[in-house]
Structure 1
């Protein structure tokens, strides 16, 4: 038993740190950016960018390259947008922040993007919804 506990303690000390994904709002920059990232790394899952007051959010999904018409669903609302390749092998599309689908996303923190057969959820946990709502406020014109 003592050997097992010692081995477990040693493994815990030498194990790489667990990656913690979080949502971070960069509101003091132009463009305004809300990023789902591992802080202090280049690891990104999703970014939302806008020029303040433009009412257009540019959504980039990393790790998946999709093209074609995208269906963004949040709550009961649906928006259509064209998905295009993004730098670094991702997918980028634009959504109006004054569209009911984006408003539902800002209210509830969940949106699903469907391009062809590929579906990608975007989820902002309750603890980070204030950042999403602030992003929407800063972007809206």
Structure 2
């Protein structure tokens, strides 16, 4: 057996959780058109913040990363993206603990969960541009 036979490829699969009660409440409160407008803007804002978190990580801007991750928690909770909120909170906690390795690992997970969450909510709500 040669060394190449021992290589294992890890495949990351993330499960996302959406709180349908929060989404339904948003629709009841705002009406369909306004709720869709809010969701479109929110999805765009979360995408920008995920990108910003990655930039803060590359720049080693720990305060910026923490602040950005905490803002993702608040936004994600408002529209029922509970998995995204949980992982963003983990990033902020790792930054607070001064653990850059764990922060990097959880940031990678945040980006995976974020992309999956945004796709799921986009598809579920048929947020056509």
TM-score with structure 1 setting the length: 0.25
Query: Relative contact order: is structure 1 or structure 2 higher (C-alpha 8 Å, sep ≥ 6)?
Result: 2
Which has the larger share of strand? 1
Larger Rg: 1
TM-score with structure 2 setting the length: 0.27
